């Protein structure tokens, strides 16, 4: 399991994974308030993409990614 450091790379990889096999893809947001840590995980049970952050600014990016993924999942 490897963490991806660059956000842009992460978004690209997650989106691609989501489009590859939409029915098997899931996206997890894990937040631990006492430590102020946020971990994102996108997986299709074969490939696992993770990103971790403690920065507030990543929340805005997460919102955008959430938006995109939810559209993909609930489109049609």
Partner 1 sequence: MVLLENEAFLTRLTYLYNKTRTSGTVWITMKAYNGRTKPIPRRKKKDKNALLEMEGSESKCLIRATNGKKKISTVINSKDVNRFQQAYTSVLKGCLDNLKKRERKTAKSKKAKATQ
**Which residues of the chain form contacts with partner 1 (CB under 8 A)?**
22-23, 25-36, 38, 53-59, 62-63, 66-67, 69-76
Kindly state the smallest distance separating residue 73's Cβ from partner 1, in Å: 4
Backbone torsions φ then ψ of 14, nearest 5 degrees: -65, -45
Q: What are phi and psi of 24, to 5 degrees?
A: -105, -5
Least distance to partner 1, CB of residue 48, Å: 14
**Is the Cβ of residue 2 or residue 33 nearer to partner 1 in the bound state?**
33
Q: State the Cα–Cα distance between residues 70 and 76, nearest whole angstrom.
A: 12
**Least distance CB 4 / partner 1 (angstroms):** 18
Count the Cβ atoms, other than its own, within 10 Å of residue 18. Answer: 19
């Amino acid at each position: 399991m490897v963490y991806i450091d660059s956000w842009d790379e992460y978004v690209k990889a997650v989106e691609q994974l989501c489009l590859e096999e939409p029915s098997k893809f899931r996206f997890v947001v894990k937040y631990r308030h006492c430590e102020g840590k946020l971990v994102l995980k996108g997986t299709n049970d074969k490939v696992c993409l993770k990103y971790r952050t403690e920065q507030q600014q990543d929340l805005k990016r997460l919102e955008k990614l959430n938006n995109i993924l939810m559209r993909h999942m609930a489109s049609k």
